[in-house]
Amino acid sequence: MRVAVIDIGTNSTRLLIADVENQSGVRALHTALVTTRLGEGIGQARLLSPAIDRTLAAVEDYLTIISRWQVERIIAVATSAVRDAVNREDFLTVAHRRTGLQVKILSGEEEAGYSYRGVLSGLAVNRRRTVVMDLGGGSTEFTWLRGGRICCRSVGVGAVRVTEGSFSDDWILSLLSCVLDEVREVSPMILIGVGGTVTTIAAMAMSLKVYDPVMIHGFTLTAGQVEDVLALLMTTPLEERRRLPGLQPERADIIVAGVRIVQLVMQNLGLTDLKVSEADIMYGLTLQEAQ
């Protein structure tokens, strides 16, 4: 089955067109990403009109692309920025009027669960000792197994939210601590990260001038590499930062906050490395839609 997934996130709006093979394998045919920053002004818990317009313009462009691929099913989802907005129903109404799509707002737990399913479809791992971290613009999700049961948690800590709020490391940890305490109970040995921050750190660690998902997927980031990337970013002015190899210019203003979150999670869990996955929530949604 051929499925198209549109992921309306806090920082970016993404597209995946993929074939599902044997209900377990996802073969990506086309991907796209536009930094629409729907979560602009996220501290107000209200979606701003210019941000809505940017986002829906990207969705309209994606529908044009989808029309060329003989897609059987289309699913559009929204995450943290829309989930937390007081005017989320207005957004859904405008989105339907402009695009014809019924956008589904995912709960934090649903977001975590789909990310976990997506990761497992793309990487062979020991599930019992693995925790998946999906670090987004507005929230971070954690998923792991405990006693054979999947545990899904979502925390309102993300790269855009931390950047706009100028939040300290202590503040970040105060929000993450309850979930990280739970994670430590299962003594995870493998931390798998998904999301733009994590893939960007990997690209920067490899000094990739052209982003290569094949090189990124399965790459193991060490704590030392995360520390080196953070040190470089914090000593590089914003305009120069936009020209660093591996860093998407549109992400330059929020990347420091994202890397800080990654570093704090690794330190708190006592883990020395993190495996990066290109297979993420969009893969999980693709598999769900193809059932």
For the cut 90, the answer to whether the pLDDT of residue 188 exceeds it is no
% of the chain residues with pLDDT over 90: 93
Average pLDDT, the chain: 96
pLDDT tens, 243-284? 999 999 999 999 999 999 999 999 999 999 999 999 999 999
Beta partners for 142? 133, 153
Q: Is the pLDDT of residue 206 over 80?
A: yes
Percent of the chain with pLDDT over 70: 99
The architecture CATH gives domain 108-281: 2-Layer Sandwich (3.30)
46-75 tens-digit pLDDT:
999 999 999 999 999 999 999 999 999 999
- Write the DSSP string, the chain: -EEEEEEE-SS-EEEEEEEEETTTEEEEEEEEEE---TTTTGGGTS--HHHHHHHHHHHHHHHHHHTTTT-SEEEEEE-HHHHT-TTHHHHHHHHHHHH---PEEPPHHHHHHHHHHHHHHH----GGGEEEEEE-SS-EEEEEEETTEEEEEEES--HHHHHHHT--HHHHHHHHHHHHHHHHTT--SEEEEESHHHHHHHHHHTT-SS--HHHHTTPEEEHHHHHHHHHHHHTS-HHHHTTSTT--GGGTTTHHHHHHHHHHHHHHHT-SEEEE-S--HHHHHHHHHT-
Q: Give mean pLDDT, residues 37-44.
A: 95
Residues 80-88 have a mean pLDDT of 97
Strand partners, 144: 131, 151
23 pLDDT tier (thresholds 50, 70, 90):
low
Q: Where are the domains of the chain?
A: 2-107, 108-281
The 10s digit of each residue's pLDDT in 103-152 is: 999 999 999 999 999 999 999 888 888 999 999 999 999 999 998 899 99
Crossing angle between the packed helical segments 255-269 and 169-184, to the nearest 10 degrees: 40
The answer to whether residue 27 scores a pLDDT higher than 70 is yes
> How much is the pTM?
0.95
Q: Is the pLDDT of residue 22 over 80?
A: no
pLDDT at 279: 96
Identical fold for domains 2-107 and 108-281, yes or no, is yes
CATH among 3.40.50.2000, 3.40.50.300, 3.40.50.1110, 3.30.420.40 for 2-107: 3.30.420.40
- Does 220 score more than 80 pLDDT? yes
